[in-house]
Amino acid sequence: AVISQSGIPKLYTVYFLTFLAFSLFYAGLPLYASSILEWSASDLGIFLSYSSIIMFIAQGPILSRLTEKYNNQKLIIAGSVLLGIAFLLLSYQNIIILYASMTILSLGNGIMWPSFMALLAKSGDKQMQGAIQGYGSSMGSFASMIGLLVGGLLFEQIQVTVFIISGAIFLLIGLLMILKAPKKKPTLIADYN
C-alpha cells in the first residue's frame, strides 16, 4: 500500500497542511483586502501580480542556485519558515509590511513547494510513483476544499488571526521536516570485518 511506503505518511501530512494553510489564506485575503484594507479589485490584482513576479524569480535563478548547495529537506524547512513569518506579517495593516510579507511569502513558496515535490518524487517505491503522486493530489484537493470553506468562516469570526493560523501551520511543517525519519537498523556485515 502507498501509505506503508517509508517516509510517505510524513510527506502526505506536509502535503495536506500546505494546501490547508494556503486555502485559509486565499479564502481570507479578498475579504481582508476589501473589508479591512479597503482595497479596490485593481489594488488586490497588483498585489497578487507582484507575488507572481517574485515567485517566478524564486523558482528560477534563486532555486537553481540553492539546489546546488542544499538538499530538498533543508530547502523545505527554510521555505516553510519563510512562509510562517510571511503569514504572521500579513496581519499588519501597513502597506510596506504587507508588500514585504508578500515578498517573503513568494520566496518561501518558490523555494519550498518545488523542493517538496522533488522530495516526494524520490520517495517510496519507483513503481508506485504514479499512485504516490495521485494520492498526494487528492489529499491536496481535500485540504483545499476544507481550507476554503473554513477560511471564509474563520475570517468573519477572527479576521487576520486566520493568517496567524496559516503561519503557525507552516512553522509546524518546518518542524515536521526537521524531525528525521527513524534510521534503518545497521547490518551485521561490519561485525565480520
Amino acid at 92: Y
pLDDT tens-place string over residues 115-166: 999 999 888 788 888 898 999 999 999 999 999 999 999 999 999 999 999 9
Q: Above 70 in pLDDT, residue 184?
A: no
Question: Contact 29/148 with Cβ under 8 angstroms?
Answer: no
Length, in residues, of the chain:
193
d(CA 143, CA 12): 11
Higher pLDDT, 118 or 181: 118
Q: 151-181 as b/e, with b when 16 or more CB fall inside 10 Å?
A: bbebbeeeebebbebbbebbbbbbebbeeee
pLDDT value at 32 more than 70: yes
| Cell digits of residue 86 | 510571511
For 94, the grid coordinates are: 501597513
Nearest to residue 165, comparing CAs of 88, 71, 61, 73? Answer: 88
pTM: 0.89
